[in-house]
């Protein structure tokens, strides 16, 4: 068996185990929520040993790599990288396993789980390998829902499938969910009702964001001191999935501009060329000459394939969802937080041989000028709504302001509950009134300086002022790594 076939077999087995665990507490008469986490919000477990072609599969022999303590105390960041054949580092296969769990310190989405289960709703987190292409994860989601529906039929003795199921997607999870809907093709005698009644996205970057692309050039400030900027940037660039977070290609953007209702929301093409003033489309092959030198050369084919995967997603979403799917879509988005909404592409300041030493990115960020139409601190306002979704099914947040806090915020949870009950977004006053009754509150986060101090203290094995049991520090560390 080849490496990729073995990987697919292990992933299927992991989802099967998670599905059986979910059904142990499943109420077939109750509604169901399947949460699609944001980027890096899914736990990834790795086989203990390397896989050799034709060898027995290592079922049951796994360790957590994302987000494990080895990320801080060891060298686990390298374990997330892939080679040019898209094999995991050291051929140790990674599989998704629900949401990130950094117990006992911090677990994202814990408040979401409590709120939904307290409402008498079945709840499952569909973790996915956010490093892998969005289309691949959407295919795994479809296979999972089909298997889930068949088992629900067997429990009830009918053919109702999943009935009242809500796909609730945070951030990058919205790309996975929307691509699933765009690619879904009903088989004989079925329709989408069998699997999904409604799709609710929360702060999803359907057409890209400025918050990730710089990492291909300058790495991440919390890890550069340890791994080196170029090393970390190479790890990030080896993962095809996050390329879908770059801005959509110019052709897809032009297609969106043809949508009259949506055109008013659009800025200029969000990545501009400082020299010509025109668009700077990272998907354009000519842009390869302006990428870091190591992203060309022997890595050029892998990078080009990753960009092609991302462009496929952009084309699919610019084309629009099938009519049956469109009627199920709701968006919750933020617009009042200062957010980077455009990038200006310049030149590397020095010759390519000095790129590894330079901390300067050729991308310069810009902020939205119009108050109230900015974003949520990560995703621009215009990017967090599919063009075909009517504004009557879009809720603009008034209280929740921080992208990373959305799924724990009472306003967001109140809107989700209302949509599930009425298949419509609430009036702002109604959402605010219901939010006052919800006890969940976002966990506090430490400053970036405190998180950096903690990482350095932990790496040195020293006892210092940073409290290793402070959930606020762990939250800040995790969110600093998150792509979207």
Rounded to a whole number of angstroms, the distance between the first and last alpha carbons of the chain is 34
- Share in percent of the chain as helix, strand, coil (round to 5): 45, 15, 40
Q: What's the rounded Cα separation, in Å, for the pair 23 and 10?
A: 20
| E-state strands within 265-396 | 271-273, 329-333, 340-345, 363-367, 394-396
Q: Collect the ranges in the chain with pLDDT lower than 70.
A: 59, 68-75, 103-105, 221-223, 225-226, 349-360, 368-372, 455-469, 479-484
Q: How many residues does the chain have?
A: 484
Whose structure tokens read 């059904």?
A: 23
Paired sense of beta strands 62-66 and 42-47, if any: antiparallel
Return the closest-CA partner of residue 170 out of 51, 41, 81, 271: 41
Q: How many CB atoms lie within 10 A of CB 476?
A: 23
Exposure pattern of 307-316 as b/e (b: 16+ CB <10 Å)?
Answer: bebbbebbeb
Q: Classify residue 151 as exposed, middle or buried by CB count within 10 Å of its CB (0-12, 13-18, 19+).
A: middle
d(CA 382, CA 390): 13
What is the structure's pLDDT at 352? 47
Asked if 394 contacts 425 with a C-beta cutoff of 8 angstroms, the reply is yes
Domains of the chain, by residue range, sit at 28-36+105-117+135-481
- Name the strand (E) or helix (H) holding 42: strand 42-47
Contact, 383 vs 207, CB < 8 A? yes
What DSSP letter does each residue of 120-177 carry, written as one string? T-EEEE----TTS-HHHHHHHHHHHHHHHHHHHHHHHTSS-TT-SEEEEEETTHHHHH
Assigned token pair, 450: 């405190």
pLDDT digits (tens, 9 = 90+) for 10-60: 999 999 999 999 999 999 889 999 999 998 889 999 999 899 988 887 767
DSSP annotation string for 53-109:
TTSPP-TT-EEEEET-THHHHS-GGGGG-B-TT-PBGGG--EEEEEE--BTTTB-TT
- Report d(CA 106, CA 253) in Å as an integer: 38
**Do 20 and 13 contact (CB within 8 A), yes or no?**
no
Q: What is the pTM of this model?
A: 0.93
Please give the angle made by the CA atoms of 347, 350 and 356, to the nearest 5 degrees: 105
Q: Judge contact between 212 and 310, C-beta under 8 A.
A: no
């Amino acid at each position: 068996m080849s490496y990729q076939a073995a990987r697919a077999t292990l992933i299927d087995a992991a989802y099967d185990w998670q599905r059986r665990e979910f059904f142990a507490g499943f109420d077939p008469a109750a509604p169901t929520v399947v949460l699609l986490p944001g980027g890096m919000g899914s736990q990834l477990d790795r086989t203990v040993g390397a896989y050799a072609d034709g060898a027995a599969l290592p079922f049951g022999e796994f360790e957590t790599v994302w987000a494990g303590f080895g990320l801080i105390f060891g060298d686990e960041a390298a374990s997330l990288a892939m080679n040019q054949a898209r094999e995991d580092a050291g051929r140790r296969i990674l599989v998704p396993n629900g949401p990130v769990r950094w117990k006992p310190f911090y677990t994202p989405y814990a408040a979401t789980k409590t709120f939904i289960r307290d409402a008498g709703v079945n709840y499952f987190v569909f973790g996915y390998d956010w490093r892998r292409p969005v289309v691949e994860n959407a295919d795994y989601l479809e296979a999972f829902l089909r298997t889930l529906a068949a088992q629900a039929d067997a429990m009830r003795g009918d053919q109702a499938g999943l009935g009242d199921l809500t796909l609730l997607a945070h951030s990058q999870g919205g790309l996975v969910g929307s691509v699933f809907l765009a690619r879904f093709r009903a088989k004989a005698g079925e329709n989408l009702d069998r699997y999904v009644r409604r799709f609710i996205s929360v702060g999803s970057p359907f057409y890209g964001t400025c918050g990730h692309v710089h990492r291909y050039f300058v790495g991440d400030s919390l890890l550069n001191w340890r791994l080196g900027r170029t090393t970390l940037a190479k790890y990030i660039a080896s993962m095809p999935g996050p390329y879908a977070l770059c801005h959509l290609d110019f052709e897809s953007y032009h297609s969106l501009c043809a949508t009259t209702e949506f055109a008013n929301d659009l800025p200029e093409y969000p990545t501009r060329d400082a020299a010509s003033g025109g668009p700077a489309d990272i998907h354009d092959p000519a842009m390869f000459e302006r990428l870091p030198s190591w992203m060309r050369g022997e890595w050029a084919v892998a990078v080009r394939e990753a960009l092609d995967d991302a462009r496929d997603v952009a084309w699919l979403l610019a084309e629009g969802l099938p009519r049956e799917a469109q009627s199920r879509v709701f968006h919750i988005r933020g617009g009042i937080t200062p957010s980077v909404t455009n990038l200006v592409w310049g030149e590397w300041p020095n010759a390519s041989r000095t790129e590894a030493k330079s901390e300067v990115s050729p991308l310069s960020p810009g902020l939205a000028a119009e108050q109230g139409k900015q974003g949520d601190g990560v995703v621009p306002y215009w990017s967090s709504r599919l063009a075909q979704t009517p504004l009557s099914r879009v809720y603009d947040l008034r209280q929740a302001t921080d992208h990373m806090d959305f799924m724990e915020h009472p306003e967001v949870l109140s809107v989700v509950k209302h949509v599930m009950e009425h298949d419509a977004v609430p009036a702002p006053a109604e959402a605010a009134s219901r939010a006052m009754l919800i006890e969940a509150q976002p966990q506090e986060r430490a400053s970036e300086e405190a998180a950096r101090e903690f990482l350095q203290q932990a790496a040195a094995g020293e006892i210092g002022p940073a409290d290793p049991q402070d959930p606020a520090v762990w939250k800040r560390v995790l969110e600093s790594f998150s792509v979207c």
